């Protein structure tokens, strides 16, 4: 006789990564330097020097990230875009979408021709650890009507502008 009992288990490890200060170039990884972990013991690892997460092949992951940036050049029609990518190939994760951060207010930004991108300011992705073993949050695209786009992630707080903070949340379903 073979019995196959099923057990419903709640298994989730969560990590909140933050403090990603830096001035990334296009196609650089965003590299948070601090983490707060909760839930079960996590099976992923993270390299703060490269910004790469190494995932467990038996788990499904939810990633959610939001960046706070200050712009070096205030150009009305400019944006930066970031997304979760496969760290070995650079391909954006299929079950995910890009975030779009706009430099200026809507009236100036959307006055451009051709039409400008808009989207959630929070990047999201679902990753199967058996499909993508290493991932990273990456600055993947930008647009500017006048030239280079430069910005600082998590700048030093200033009295001149309201300050918030970047975050990356990883949830591992084991």
Partner 1 sequence: MTYKLVATPSVEVSYFTPTISGNPATNDYCTLTVGNVNQIGITGTGTTTLTLPAGQYHARANLGGTKSAASSDLSYQLELDGTLIGNLGGYDTDSGFGSGGRVSTEYSENVFTLTSSGSLRVKITTASGTNTVTATYSGLLIRRVP
Per-residue x/- track, 30-69, partner 1 (CB under 8 A): ------------------------------x-x-------
Q: Is 10 in the site for partner 1 (CB under 8 A)?
A: yes
Instruction: Tell me how many degrees the CA angle 113-114-116 measures, rounded to the nearest 5.
Output: 100
Q: Which two tokens stand for residue 72?
A: 């070096």
**Judged by CB under 8 A, which of 118, 163, 164, 165 binds partner 1?**
118
Q: Which two tokens stand for residue 93?
A: 């994760």
DSSP structure string for 120-145 = -SEEEEEEETTT-SEEEEEEEEEEES
**Judged by CB under 8 A, which of 44, 109, 139, 151 binds partner 1?**
109
Cα(120)–Cα(57) distance, rounded to whole angstroms? 29
**Judged by CB under 8 A, which of 38, 117, 146, 148 binds partner 1?**
117
Q: 76, 149, 142: which is closest to 109 by C-alpha?
A: 76
Compute the least distance from the CB of residue 33 to partner 1, in Å: 26
Q: Is 105 in the site for partner 1 (CB under 8 A)?
A: yes
Q: Is 6 in the site for partner 1 (CB under 8 A)?
A: yes
Q: Is 26 in the site for partner 1 (CB under 8 A)?
A: no
Cα(34)–Cα(16) distance, rounded to whole angstroms? 8
3-state secondary structure of 57: coil
Compute the least distance from the CB of residue 98 to partner 1, in Å: 5
Dihedral, 155, 156, 159, 163 alpha carbons, nearest 10: 50
Q: Is 95 in the site for partner 1 (CB under 8 A)?
A: yes
Residues that bind partner 1 (CB under 8 A): 1-12, 60, 62, 92, 94-98, 100, 102, 105-107, 109-111, 113-122, 124, 126-128, 131, 173-174
């Amino acid at each position: 006789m073979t019995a196959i009992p099923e057990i419903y288990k709640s298994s989730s490890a969560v990590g909140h990564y933050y403090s990603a200060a830096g001035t990334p170039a296009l196609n650089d990884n965003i590299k948070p330097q601090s983490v707060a972990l909760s839930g079960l013991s996590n099976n992923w690892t993270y390299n703060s020097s490269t910004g790469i997460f190494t995932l467990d092949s038996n788990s499904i992951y939810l990633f959610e990230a939001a960046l706070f940036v200050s712009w070096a050049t205030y150009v009305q029609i400019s944006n930066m875009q970031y997304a979760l990518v496969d760290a070995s190939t650079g391909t954006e994760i299929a079950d995910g979408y890009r975030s779009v951060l706009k430099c200026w207010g809507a009236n100036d930004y959307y006055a451009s021709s051709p039409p400008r991108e808009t989207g959630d300011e929070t990047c999201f992705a679902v990753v199967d650890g058996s499909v993508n073993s290493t991932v990273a949050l990456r600055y993947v695209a930008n647009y500017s009507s006048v030239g280079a786009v430069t910005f600082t992630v998590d700048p030093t707080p200033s009295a001149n502008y309201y300050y918030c903070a970047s975050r990356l949340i990883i949830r591992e379903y084991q």
